[in-house]
Structure 1
Amino acid sequence: MEHHGEGSISSNTDYMRMKRSKRHTPRQIQRLEALFKDCSHPCEQHKLQLSRELALSPRQIDVWFQNKRAQMKTREERYDNPKLIEENDKIRSENITIREALENVICSTCGGPSINVDCDFDEQKLRIENAQLKEENFNG
């Protein structure tokens, strides 16, 4: 048990009473959980109605919903994180494969090596435009 104050019994008793008084009853939790399933962000009117119905302050209702949303977010992140890592690794691998394939591409216009993968995007656009202009001049 934690030690509070000067070690007096009354301070420990007060601490335990305060801690107990903040916990919700199973009925309150059941009602809050049911509402959370329908709406994780209740409006002020619903919060006031709940506070009257469950004998809790509107602040307690606010805190319960904030905590529940945080708990759900943490659960989702734990569940999604391994999936995202796996998906990221797969995309990274595909990217490497595509880069390697692009290094071996031959230009359909001139038959020479294709555009260098590491070239700047604007330089790539200019090379493509240049190849198109050459083809137009050759055919024209």
Structure 2
Amino acid sequence: MKHFIVIIATLLFGFTALFAQNKPAVDWEAYGEQLVNAIGSTNKGVQLSAMRHIIRYGDSLEVVMARYVVMDKFMNEKDQKIRLLALATLATINNPLDIGLLELHYKWEKDPEVKKMLEKVLADKGRLSFTRYQEK
């Protein structure tokens, strides 16, 4: 009886391991290109979804070309939640020029929630010089 249970368990776990290996590889380059295209879409829902995907999979993606549209969303959007999403996306893309622009923008940010998140992003990126822009 023991041998029968061991054989069943081996077969069961063996098939599980076999099926787990059959997952297709992700083409991160193509996925990144699609996200850059989605960011450039005129559909706001598609843009927001693409930003969420960039945040989630940013370590595996090359989406630097999306930074222009995302920075525009951060600077010009009236909706606070969209601005915070754009800020998180910019932090994930992590382009030094964008981080520098965010550092310069800190002084003029009027929304307290966005400013607080901006401060955290700058601290995380090692751009602690943002404190020189704080009003005294």
**Shorter-chain TM-score: which interval?**
0.3 to 0.5
Choose between structure 1 and 2 for higher RCO, CA contacts under 8 A separated by at least 6 residues.
2
Higher helix share: 2
